[in-house]
Amino acid sequence: MSTSSTRLEPQAPQPLLLQRFVMAQGVYASLLLLLALAMATGHARVPFTALVLGGISLVLSQLAFFLLLRSGRSQRFQDPGMTEAQVLVALFWQTVLLGCLDGGARATLMAFYVPILLFGLFQLHPVAFGRCALLAFVGFVALEWGEALFLPQARAEPPFLQLATLFVLLFWLCLFGRHVEGMRQRRQAPTAYQDARHGALRQPEDQVSTDELTGLCNRRQFLRLAQRDLLHLPAHAQYGLALIDLDHFKRINDRYGHAAGDRVLQTFATLAQACLRDSDVLARYGGEEFVLLLPNVNLDQISVCCERLREAFASAEPLGLSLGGLSLSIGMTRLQRGDDLDLALQRAEQALQRAKHNGRNRCEASWEPSDARTDRRSASS
């Protein structure tokens, strides 16, 4: 598991990411209203040109975040919500706002560092959160130092109390973030007794529903889960379905032995689970073939997810093996209410065969039944 300072979590649903973004815009709106109030009461003087340019820059920065989230392109990032980037940009604009105010108003609105950082408190690793807090403090110090250096008449005495207050505030926020992280880890880590007890109770069921080599669902369990979800699929919902085949797997077995082949299968299973959400269902379908069910996704999200799996596997290095480049081929389709699971699997299989025919190491789609009929005609010709 990666120890990157950005938390590695299963992807948050896109509506939730957009909801967080809208909430962040509420903070921006509050800051702009307070700036307008400060200007009206004589606590801020901002040249009209600077106000217009700053407003345009702010809108463009938020528009960039919105387009990345709305299009699903942010799902390719390690943090699909771009939490740290959004927090850093907001801290920058908060510091710019404080630079427009006089000393009294600045001391008051300095408190807005807190709600900005709270957006990252439950999403960021403590190291990343501490980095954001440090940059907030450094930005404020640079603002005060620059004003003292270039505008000495604007301040009668150094703002030691403001700096100390901000430092203590950010320090305790960082400590609280570490405490939250510790609580999360303790809740997620079962005790040895619970682990052993649950394992003993579930062992007979797991033997029936789990692939022994990879720890994934087996084919029978996947079909049971997929049929159940399809039966209860809402009218306007859509699922993604993908068949995944590891390219040239027989060659790996023949050249390096079956133990190496098993290691490659385990590597893919571990890597894929790290890339997927908790709600996604990945199963070993047979041999070197896997099947993937993606709930509540649009066509672009299905393609992005499968491309991310393909790229991640291409850079994988199974422990203790030097195999050169690994690759896989994926056939994608979608499931909607009223669809037949067997026919959908046939469409995914048609797309998978097309991916192999077109050179492997690629993703192909057969979204509609008509696509599958076209594939069959092409194959027969």
Supply the residues annotated as catalytic. Answer: 288
Nearest CA to 296 among 281, 315, 311, 274? 281
- Could you tell me the sign of the dihedral formed by the alpha carbons of 101, 105, 106, 109, in that order? negative
Tokens of 345: 């699997």
How far apart CA 61 and CA 146 sit, in angstroms, is 25
How far apart CA 92 and CA 129 sit, in angstroms, is 15
Give the burial string for 111-143 (b: 16+ CB within 10 Å, else e). ebbebbbebbbebbbbbbbbbbbeebbebbeeb
Tokens of 185: 């880890």
Q: What is the DSSP letter of 257?
A: -
Nearest CA to 268 among 251, 291, 240, 234? 291
How far apart CA 193 and CA 157 sit, in angstroms, is 61
How far apart CA 303 and CA 300 sit, in angstroms, is 5
Nearest CA to 163 among 179, 147, 150, 151? 147
Nearest CA to 332 among 311, 314, 315, 353? 353
> Rounded to an integer, what is the distance from CA 55 to the centroid of its chain?
29
How far apart CA 109 and CA 140 sit, in angstroms, is 12
How far apart CA 238 and CA 368 sit, in angstroms, is 13
Question: Which residues have CB under 8 Å from 61's CB, separation 6+?
Answer: 89, 93
